Amino acid sequence: MIPDTIPEFRAWHKEKKKMIFLEKPEDMIEFSTDAWRMIRWDDNSGTLADNTNSILMQSVGRKDKNGKEIFEGDIVLFHTAKGGEVSFTVVWNDEGLNYNIWKPHGTESLKVIGNIYENPELLKLVS
89 part of a folded domain: yes
What pLDDT is attached to residue 108? 65
Q: Rounded to whole angstroms, how far apart are CA atoms 22 and 116?
A: 20
Contact 100, 93 (CB under 8 A): yes
- Residue percentage of the chain with pLDDT more than 70: 86
54 part of a folded domain: yes
Q: What is the pLDDT of residues 10-67, one digit of tens each?
A: 999 999 999 998 887 778 899 999 999 998 876 666 788 899 999 999 999 888 989 9
Contact 79, 85 (CB under 8 A): yes
What pLDDT is attached to residue 1? 46
What pLDDT is attached to residue 109? 78
108 part of a folded domain: yes
Identify the domain containing residue 83 by its residue range. Answer: 9-125
CATH code, domain with 63: 2.30.30.290
Nearest CA among 27, 33, 34 for reference residue 11: 27
117 part of a folded domain: yes
